[in-house]
Structure 1
């Protein structure tokens, strides 16, 4: 895709930010309208109920407009990482779903989640988790992963991401190249994985290879150091990992999101301007800055100034912006057309049936285990 965009707009397409409150701030809407943002990520602080969520998404979509429809993303994994309140569908943890080993049911569950997200105007779900739960001491992954067997995780994750995307919501698999065997929370510190490449190929990487083979729309990086791949360099900032491995070797063709650049794993070691430029050069196409709008402004300024000075960096920004815009235009926010349609979808018959079938399957599995 060839882009004819002013540099400020080109670089703005790479920034997906967060904000406080249930109403999008006027300055955030202005930034979207002027092309200095490429979308928004929503948290519990933004989505107190279905009506407020719909109004917020409509405002964001209108600000972006038809030429630059925004990413409107949320972490609606299930279990303990669920942002939307009742009557939205809340799935059990991915671990409990993976234990059922029922791929058609898992696909249906993802379709039900996606239908509800699409009804309010959310077009991106930061799910599924592709990490393998290989370390019981991991403080951040645990039951967010589908399980401890890489093959089973891969099969479950593919069913889930395909279900999301069949219903018109972009999936984002996370956290590349694998956050499962860490003992630190990257929100608070920078974890390191010391395994050799053979172990990575056996355990960490298979779910990501499977997701890429299934056409996952996007992936998210991990703020971790993988010594066998790029010693001392966080994956988010590593060209060896984000470009050479992910695109060159694995063949990923979608949009690569950084994890939040405000997390301490990155922010404690790098100024946000430095981290943003390094992440883009490494191969990230979209940068998450999930809380502070002033930091988002600083990221935008840093990208523009570096692109002005360095033609190769400008080319990398243009490549990233083309990927982001192409995906957003393919799947723009499309909220339900009427209150009646909305009520039929959110907490509706399909969602209730999925939950009933999950509970039935869990009960049957429990009964089998008891005999």
Structure 2
């Protein structure tokens, strides 16, 4: 069925990627996925007490979505302090350690090792790598999640990690556009404001995103920040000047653009979900994260449907977004292995070898410093 023939409820539903509580797929979320009113799910530690539970819930999501609209099944598995899966899943070091080592082949192998094990569990999207440059020691949210304070090293390492993930069949996601590295405010709590001019952005914040776009990274994620030199009026997630003119027009990004979680205070404290959902799609986002509240997911969905009903241009924007999203999901669908094969894949020899090499190389780098 062509996208133009889909019911609006399904068309707009494919934009919403939601989260939920509990270690089992809630019937309400399963129904929404089955009816096409969700495009996928993001899972957190609250959903993933062990690897058997992760595999079970991912398999249930695949079954509920069906083959026509394979879902995004996403997780934040960066390494370091941002990792949702427990041992024996590989415990990767913070990206700063990989950046310090500086061996892009090793970084690529690390990405592939993580990707192979994510794919076995049933994930097809990892919200990694971080493309932010670690340029502010007072940053409360990025820090060692970034590969380096050097833009060129961030670019090289992040592209390598993304290539590793995607070579394993897992979509990567470069975040947080247009750069969350030089903030002193956590956007989960409040709205950071960046005052850098375009020359500074071109020198520091944008090079990793430009490199990732040129390399064909599958997806990117916006930052809930205001960059006054580009658009002082709204957060980047809701800004066409940022999401379309800069990211697609200037940097040449062709993949799927995710909003960061629309429940974060930087946006949610200022805009109702109906406003932020519609504005983010108008700006150029292709998929919206609503990471906890199923009522808010429904409200966002209803707002998208109403906007598409009254405005043909908005419906066309939705169709463009869903075309990108479905192409990515069909290219790399979630494919959980049979449960009895998990033990032979998770924590396997190849992944252990990569982790051991990283540890050895990191120790040598520290001793040589």
What is the TM-score of this pair, normalised by structure 2? Answer: 0.98
Deviations 1:105-160 (A, max 9, x none): 11111111001100010000000000000000000000000010000000000110
Q: Is the alpha carbon distance of 1:315 and 1:176 closer, same or farther for their aligned partners in structure 2, counting shifts above 3 Å?
A: same
Name the structure 2 match of 1:319. 320
- Contact 1:2–1:322 (CA under 8 A) maintained in structure 2: no
For the residues of structure 2 that align with 1:214 and 1:345, how far apart are their CA atoms? Answer: 29
SS in 1 for 2:172: strand
For the residues of structure 1 that align with 2:339 and 2:28, how far apart are their CA atoms? Answer: 29
Q: Is the alpha carbon distance of 1:290 and 1:338 closer, same or farther for their aligned partners in structure 2, counting shifts above 3 Å?
A: closer
Name the structure 1 match of 2:195. 194
Q: Is the alpha carbon distance of 1:69 and 1:306 closer, same or farther for their aligned partners in structure 2, counting shifts above 3 Å?
A: same
For the residues of structure 2 that align with 1:365 and 1:86, how far apart are their CA atoms? Answer: 26
Deviations 1:229-269 (A, max 9, x none): 00131000000000011111111110000000000000010
- Contact 2:224–2:267 (CA under 8 A) maintained in structure 1: yes
Unaligned runs of 5+ in 2: none
Q: How many residues align?
A: 368
SS in 2 for 1:41: strand
Name the structure 2 match of 1:301. 302
SS in 2 for 1:332: coil
Task: Give 4+ residue runs of structure 1 displaced > 3 Å after superposition.
Answer: none
Name the structure 1 match of 2:284. 283
SS in 2 for 1:67: coil
Q: CA deviation at 1:338?
A: 5.2
Q: Map residues 180-329 of structure 1 onto 2, 5 A cutoff.
A: 180-329=181-330
SS in 2 for 1:211: helix
Name the structure 2 match of 1:366. 366
Deviations 1:39-82 (A, max 9, x none): 00000000111111101000000111111000000000000000
Q: CA deviation at 1:366?
A: 2.1
Q: CA deviation at 1:343?
A: 1.5
- Contact 1:306–1:313 (CA under 8 A) maintained in structure 2: yes
For the residues of structure 2 that align with 1:367 and 1:168, how far apart are their CA atoms? Answer: 36
